[in-house]
Amino acid sequence: MNRNLSPLVIHCLALFLMLSCAEDTIDFVPKGSISGTVIQANTSEPLEGVEMTTVPATSIVLTDSTGAFHFEQIAANDYKLRARLDNYQIETVSISVVGDSETQSTLFLLPEKGLLQSAKSPIPSDGSSDLGTEVQLNWTNTNESTVEVTYTVKVFEANATDTFQSFENIEDTLVVLQNLKFNTQYFWQVSTINNQDEIEYSEMWRFTTSSFVDNRILFTAETDEGFTQIFSIDESGEEVIQLTYSTHNKFSPLYNSDRSAIAYIGNDGIEQHIYTMSNTGENLKKVTSVTLASYHQQGRGFAWSPDDSKFIYCHYDKLYSIGVDGSNLTEIATAPTDRHFRSCDWSEANNLIIAETVGVSIYDGEIIIMDADGTNQSELVADVAGIMENPSFAIDGLSFMYTRDISGSESLNGRQLNSHLFYAPIADPTNTVDLSDQKANGNNDLFPKPSSDGSKIIFVNRKNDGSNVGNVLTVDIDDPSTRTVLVKDAHFPSWR
């Protein structure tokens, strides 16, 4: 048999092999990359640990601390780029990958809805009682740190229809309530609000304030907000209650005879007027329309009448009386020539009025006494060197007290160097007792008032350079060595 292949067969085999090789050629697929950043939609902060995938699937990458991600060697194609992170809504965007190029994309994730938590752990705890008239409310935010929230706090008084106080857009987890009523129940609720305006309401919590504390002593002090307000305190100096909360300064608070009402001097613009309120700091009323004013008006320019129906007060060279309701303004006395009335007091025991007069110079002044209708004026203490001021009756009406700078210094700025507290009988006003003989040098004793039982005097002691407001002290009338600090950084004390 002839085993040699014919030329035709060899040609056909060669052609077949060539065609087979052409069918097995591998096509080239272009590739590119994807990079970008994932951002928190509400805060614009980068999100770390976001799981990034593509559809069709290629690989899985996680964002770094800057929110950045990067896919390498991705076949050119159209993709869905998907971002996933716990507690966030899944975000998907469409992109196209082009060979030999990088595709950029930024994704924004919103927090997942339905995960907002309400405020918890109230302080004071629900049902707390015997709280003061200023209460700080605290609560706990139980949301994840990535969930930004604000709060609205509403406070309701029991048996009242209107909201007592409301605080909105609070970022901190506390608010301070002021000017609460005594012996009253309050309810409060915190609304937690996220950036999607979702709201979660806390439970309705409640607390009750303490019964009214009938402190006998009043004084003024500057609050953290920078305003002088009225406080009360007991004789031990322990039970302190703030009675007023205002953006106006208040001075010289005085109880009426049964301590049911308080009168004080308040600023009405640049003018000073008499105001009244209840002993709990409520029902504020302006009494005067004619201002309280005089030369160097820094003393106690008014006083209650013995029957609590009216006031006397100083208006330049006039001493007026006025009803507690603002009616019946009456001139009762005129000061001596070239003098103004600066401070005054009205005795319950003998229905007499004592008053300080002052000249253009604060160093010129006298203490005079008169009947309740302004008649029978007579001089108790004549003008002496140094400032003399703030006379007040003793409880029995038979003696009086005042202060005088015994240094005799008279400077242009009216500074006192060594003001002492003096006590004397009205029948013999020169027979004085110096109750400041054990006072430290460099200090002044000022603004004396008798205690409710007449055994002590309450007053202010402060540095003579004006570097402090002063402290409120007490001293026994019979023993000047018993100087006791009652309250620090306080002024204008009175005792009823």
Domains along the sequence of the chain with CATH: 31-109 (2.60.40.1120), 120-209 (2.60.40.10), 217-495 (2.120.10.30)
On the question of pLDDT at 166 being above 50, the answer is: yes
How large is the average pLDDT for residues 205-229? 93
On the question of pLDDT at 9 being above 50, the answer is: no
Amino acid at 56: P
DSSP reduced 3-state for 12: helix
DSSP reduced 3-state for 22: helix
Residue whose C-alpha is closest to residue 77's, from 32, 116, 120: 32
Pair 269, 249: CB distance under 8 Å? no
Distance between CA 259 and CA 333 in Å, rounded?
28
Average the pLDDT over each of 80-84, 278-282, 325-329, 403-407 and give the range with the smallest value: 278-282
pLDDT at residue 275 in the model: 97
Looking at residue 455, what DSSP letter applies? S
Whole-angstrom CA distances from 438 to 50, 385, 388, 415, 420 are 76, 22, 19, 21, 10
pLDDT at residue 11 in the model: 52
Residue 203, φ and ψ in degrees, nearest 5: -65, 165
Residue 22, φ and ψ in degrees, nearest 5: -65, -35
DSSP reduced 3-state for 13: helix
Q: What would the pLDDT profile of 434-488 be if each residue is shown by its tens digit?
A: 999 999 999 999 999 999 999 999 999 999 998 888 999 999 999 999 999 999 9
Residue whose C-alpha is closest to residue 358's, from 381, 376, 374, 377: 381
CB-count exposure of residue 162 (10 Å: 0-12, 13-18, 19+): exposed
CA 14 to chain centre: 101
199-215 in b/e form (b: 16+ CB < 10 A) is: ebebeebbbbbeeeeeb
Q: What would the pLDDT profile of 379-417 be if each residue is shown by its tens digit?
A: 999 998 899 999 999 999 999 999 999 998 888 888 999
Q: Which two tokens stand for residue 248?
A: 């106006």
Q: What would the pLDDT profile of 258-311 be if each residue is shown by its tens digit?
A: 999 999 999 877 899 999 999 989 899 999 999 999 998 876 799 999 999 999
Residues 6+ apart with CB under 8 A from 4: none
DSSP 364-421: -EEEEEEETTS-S-EEEE---SS-EEEEEE-TTSSEEEEEEETT----TT---S-EEE
Residues 6+ apart with CB under 8 A from 21: none
pLDDT at residue 224 in the model: 87
pLDDT class for 2, splitting at 50, 70, 90?
Answer: very low
Sign of CA dihedral 325, 327, 333, 339: positive
Q: What would the pLDDT profile of 114-134 be if each residue is shown by its tens digit?
A: 678 899 999 999 999 999 888
Residue identified by tokens 């009025």 is 353
Distance between CA 229 and CA 223 in Å, rounded?
7
Whole-angstrom CA distances from 426 to 345, 371, 381, 429 are 14, 14, 10, 5
Element holding 10 (H helix, E strand):
helix 7-23
Rounded to the nearest 5 degrees, what angle is found at the Cα of 89, between the Cα atoms of 85 and 94? 90
Task: Output the average pLDDT for the chain.
Answer: 91
Residue whose C-alpha is closest to residue 179's, from 256, 241, 129, 255: 241
CB neighbours of residue 2 within 10 Å? 5
- What pTM was estimated for this model as a whole? 0.71
The β-bridge relationship of strands 471-476 and 479-487 is antiparallel
Pair 300, 393: CB distance under 8 Å? no
